[in-house]
Amino acid sequence: MARSLAVEDGTVVFRRSDGTVLPLHPVWLRERSRESDEFDAGCRQRLYDPWRIETAIRIDGVDTLDDTTAEVRFSDGRAVRFLLDWLDGELDPADALPPKIPWTAATHAPNVAVLQVLDTPTGMTMFLDGFLRTGLGLIRECGNEPGSVLRVAERFGPVRVTNFGALFEVRTTEAPTDLAYTALALYAHTDNPYRRPIPGIQFLSCLVNDAEGGESTLVDGLAVAQSLRSDDPDAFAALTTTGIRYRYDGDGSVLEDVGRMIEVDEAGEIQRIRFNPRVEYVLPAPPAALAAFYRARAVFGARLGDPAFEIRLKLEPGDTLMFDNHRLAHGRTSFSAAGRRHLQGCYIEHDGPQSLYRAGRSAVR
Amino acid sequence: MARSLAVEDGTVVFRRSDGTVLPLHPVWLRERSRESDEFDAGCRQRLYDPWRIETAIRIDGVDTLDDTTAEVRFSDGRAVRFLLDWLDGELDPADALPPKIPWTAATHAPNVAVLQVLDTPTGMTMFLDGFLRTGLGLIRECGNEPGSVLRVAERFGPVRVTNFGALFEVRTTEAPTDLAYTALALYAHTDNPYRRPIPGIQFLSCLVNDAEGGESTLVDGLAVAQSLRSDDPDAFAALTTTGIRYRYDGDGSVLEDVGRMIEVDEAGEIQRIRFNPRVEYVLPAPPAALAAFYRARAVFGARLGDPAFEIRLKLEPGDTLMFDNHRLAHGRTSFSAAGRRHLQGCYIEHDGPQSLYRAGRSAVR
């Protein structure tokens, strides 16, 4: 059905391609002017402050110029042309990003690319599509020289430098004199829950992985949180309401943030998980409330390592993992044989890949 | 009054220095063990996963060793020593940061330091105290060579690089052929509301400011939002609930985020303002709801430039402004005389100054 803009019974209405008819507020339409003296096509910003538009502005009439364009006459004396296709898009409240699809060990669809494929717009957009849906991607043939993780990450967005520097080392050898560098398993966790803001996306590049074991573990916290919401709503409620102080104190830094293990927005949608048992401190609360929370935490913790949810993969030299640190928890299995395992990691923020995806999609259209 | 830890009627209770008596959940106490095999004093992290603690763990007894220390015997067989002073601090849910104090033109207390003073721990901590309270600071004698803004910012935390680079230029000359570089006034706004995450803190360093006019304007969005909440609650409600898409589209980047002009947490506390009329697009909504919003936006917009709230200062070469981009709106007045005005800006995140402040405070204690 053809799009159209018309005045009906004193109200301007837009008829969408799917046949729905939406009344429009005159200011909503007026402030979308793309006239060249009101909107800079280069920097794509308005050239005036829309909050100064007279809120009682009226529409005096609409003239359909052709199938694609209508001209609206406003009571401030301006006639403004609108492309109907573009206006249709403006009436769609959803972001153009693909939806997040929760996954389990049984339903996980691998998202793998070799680095060179990301040089092509289609290859990059397809990889990003998989990343935005699953929160995870594996990039192969990245090279295994020190620092290559930064060059891979910078294809997606500026590196988020922290007090640890631009990159961090995950160098694990069997040296039991130094507890921090044992070959112990590392349980599922999210990184840096004490930071403001929490780093959005993590990269881990493999330089060497000769050891037996030392597999990377990954679990979709969104899927785990959703499973709790449906089969243990009391646990879900406790985890979304109990305040936790996440704290890092070392090397002259004292980083703290208070949050929840499962964070939901006002519509109840799961926005983020924070799970890092080494640095979490439940705020003081009455023992009865804490009893409900501690039960819930034990269920959540166990499920984040449940083989029904967890996937494992062994990184090879030149492999880079990319995962959403607000959604996935990651860890590693222990390794017992002699051997070396050396990864390097860094962070970027969510807006980098999202911007790349949107720009890639609009280039394809 | 002396702190103490004791078992009373089968419950472990802590008597605080102010006389209040708090019952403690056994897990809450157990997971705060600082025993050397359970807590790494170097990296200050736990060496085990507390969600694995038996949630039904009991306390078999408490022995007071001296005025400072108690030893708790748990039903898992461990005896754990606690410093009572430290435990008292753990029972304080508040962050150690100073409170945010909203300010108006009449109540604003300037927070000014010369760069060299920040070399001293006391000077830095005092400046940060003022910054955390007011969201604003002015640092003088920073030098006016290009790039000095990065060196000033890096004293507080790692620079947040964006697709615009590490620093951005605010170079305004009277060249009417290029609209982006006119000497027009710039109304109060917050930067980059379309980014995920939105940059936390902005720095602006002045290299040259020969022009007449060109004063920097600053307004405490927290104070403005609070004023709306008290004298125009309908406007406050509309601004905290109406969804806005903030959008930047240029130079190959398509950045989008949906938020509110005033963002509150679940307790109703004002967390952030986003006000950038050039890049805001109200989501489609019924005209009646939008009418309430547009009225509210006009009130909010006008108040952000109201002399009762706004302060002005003229940056001199070598001056650096530092302000909270989630709280303050900033702008500039026009300038009409011939002259040069060249600023450079960059961003850091909130955790940098907060960490510095906490570390400085604990060093002083």
Given a cut of 50, whether residue B166 has pLDDT beyond it is yes
Residue with the bigger pLDDT between A14 and B173: it is A14
Nearest CB to B254; choose among A254, A285, A359: A359
Q: Which CATH number fits domain B112-362: 3.60.130.10, 3.90.220.20, 3.40.50.1820, 2.60.120.10?
A: 3.60.130.10
Cβ of B291 within 8 Å of Cβ of A25? The answer is yes
Q: Which residues of B touch A294 (CB under 8 A)?
A: 25, 27, 51, 53, 55
Radius of gyration (C-alpha) of chain A in whole angstroms: 26
Chain B residue with Cα closest to A194? B351
Give the A window 230-259 contacts with B, CB below 8 Å: 243, 245, 248-250, 252-258
Q: Are B150 and B167 in contact (CB under 8 A)?
A: yes
Q: How distant is the Cα of B38 from the closest Cα of chain A, in angstroms?
A: 10
Q: Where are the alpha helices (DSSP H) in B192-266?
A: 221-231, 233-241
- Report the percent of chain A where pLDDT is more than 70: 95
Whether B294 and chain A come into contact, CB under 8 Å, resolves to yes
- Token look-up 């691998």 returns A110
Residue by residue, DSSP assigns B1-26 as: ---EEEEETTEEEEE-TTS-EEE--H
Give the SS3 label for residue A217. strand
Q: Which residues of B touch A290 (CB under 8 A)?
A: 25, 27-28
Given a cut of 90, whether residue B312 has pLDDT beyond it is yes
The kind and range of the H/E element at B299 are: helix B287-303
Q: What band does B97 get if pLDDT is binned at 50, 70 and 90?
A: very high
Q: Which residues of B touch A51 (CB under 8 A)?
A: 277, 297-298, 300-302
User: How many residues are there in chain A?
Assistant: 365
Query: Which strands make up the sheet holding B253-259, listed edge to edge?
Result: B253-259, B244-250, B280-282
Q: What band does A177 get if pLDDT is binned at 50, 70 and 90?
A: very low
Cα separation of B334 and B315, whole Å? Answer: 14
Whether A73 and chain B come into contact, CB under 8 Å, resolves to no
Q: What share of chain A is helix, strand, coil (3-state, %, to 5)?
A: 25, 30, 40
The one-letter amino acid at A170 = V
Q: Are B249 and A96 in contact (CB under 8 A)?
A: no
Residue by residue, DSSP assigns A47-89 as: SS-GGGS-TT--EEEEEE-SSSEEEEEETTS-EEEEEHHHHHH
Whether B214 and chain A come into contact, CB under 8 Å, resolves to no
* Chain mean pLDDT for chain B: 93
Given a cut of 50, whether residue A178 has pLDDT beyond it is no
Q: How far is CA B359 from the centre of its chain?
A: 16
Q: What band does A172 get if pLDDT is binned at 50, 70 and 90?
A: low
Beta bridge partners of A169: A344
Q: How distant is the Cα of B109 from the closest Cα of chain A, in angstroms?
A: 26
pLDDT tens digit sequence for A216-255: 999 999 999 999 999 999 999 999 999 999 999 888 899 9
Give the B window 118-177 contacts with A, CB below 8 Å: 157-163
Q: Could you tell me which residues come within 8 angstroms of residue A170 by beta carbon, excluding any fewer than 6 positions away?
A: A204, A341, A342, A343, A344, A345
Given a cut of 50, whether residue B84 has pLDDT beyond it is yes
Q: Which residues of A touch B297 (CB under 8 A)?
A: 50-51
Cα separation of B17 and B258, whole Å? Answer: 46
Cβ of B40 within 8 Å of Cβ of A179? The answer is yes
pLDDT tens digit sequence for A45-91: 899 999 999 999 999 999 999 999 999 999 999 999 999 999 999 99
Cα separation of A296 and A294, whole Å? Answer: 5
Give the SS3 label for residue B241. helix
ipTM of the modeled complex: 0.93
* Chain mean pLDDT for chain A: 93
The angle formed by the CA atoms of residues B162, A256 and A264, to the nearest 5 degrees, is 75
| Closest C-alpha to B331, from B294, B256, B278 | B278
Cβ of B297 within 8 Å of Cβ of A51? The answer is yes
Nearest CB to A51; choose among B249, B298, B358: B298
Question: Tokens in use for B112?
Answer: 């000014």
Cα separation of A70 and A81, whole Å? Answer: 6
**CATH level 3 topology of A4-90:** NE0471 N-terminal domain-like (3.30.2020)
* Distances from the Cα of B25 to the Cα of A214, A271, A300, B18, B28, angstroms: 37, 29, 19, 20, 5
- Token look-up 């280039």 returns A363
Given a cut of 70, whether residue A98 has pLDDT beyond it is yes
Cβ of B277 within 8 Å of Cβ of A50? The answer is yes
Q: How far is CA B44 from the centre of its chain?
A: 25
- Report the percent of chain A where pLDDT is more than 90: 82
Inter-chain Cβ pairs, chain A and chain B, closer than 8 A: 201
Interface test with B, best of A32, A55, A295 (most B CBs within 10 A): A55
Given a cut of 90, whether residue B160 has pLDDT beyond it is yes
What pLDDT was estimated at residue B247?
93
Give the SS3 label for residue A130. helix
- Token look-up 């997040």 returns A100
Chain A residue with Cα closest to B12? A287
pLDDT tens digit sequence for B223-255: 999 999 999 999 999 999 999 999 998 888 999
Q: Are A247 and A281 in contact (CB under 8 A)?
A: yes
Q: Where are the alpha helices (DSSP H) in A135-248?
A: 148-153, 221-231, 233-241
- What are the boundaries of each domain within chain B? 4-90, 112-362
Given a cut of 70, whether residue A211 has pLDDT beyond it is yes
Q: What band does A337 get if pLDDT is binned at 50, 70 and 90?
A: low
| Closest C-alpha to B246, from B324, B325, B192 | B192
pLDDT tens digit sequence for B193-219: 999 999 999 999 999 998 888 899 999
Q: Which residues of A touch B43 (CB under 8 A)?
A: 180, 250
Whether B279 and chain A come into contact, CB under 8 Å, resolves to yes
Cβ of A43 within 8 Å of Cβ of B252? The answer is no
| Burial annotation A65-102 (CB, 10 A radius, 16+ → b, else e) | eeeeebebbbeeeeebebebeebbebeeeeeebeebbb
What pLDDT was estimated at residue B176?
40
Nearest CB to B252; choose among A31, A287, A359: A359
What pLDDT was estimated at residue A155?
97
Cβ of B351 within 8 Å of Cβ of A27? The answer is no
Give the B window 25-44 contacts with A, CB below 8 Å: 25, 27-28, 31-32, 40, 42-44
Given a cut of 50, whether residue A176 has pLDDT beyond it is no
Nearest CB to B290; choose among A27, A187, A349: A27
Cβ of B200 within 8 Å of Cβ of A197? The answer is yes
What pLDDT was estimated at residue B185?
86
| Closest C-alpha to B5, from B72, B78, B90 | B72
Given a cut of 60, whether residue A173 has pLDDT beyond it is no
pLDDT tens digit sequence for A114-164: 999 999 999 999 999 999 999 999 999 999 999 999 999 999 999 999 988
- Token look-up 């003073």 returns B117
Q: What band does B180 get if pLDDT is binned at 50, 70 and 90?
A: very low
Cα separation of A323 and A337, whole Å? Answer: 28
pLDDT tens digit sequence for B12-37: 999 998 889 999 999 999 999 999 99
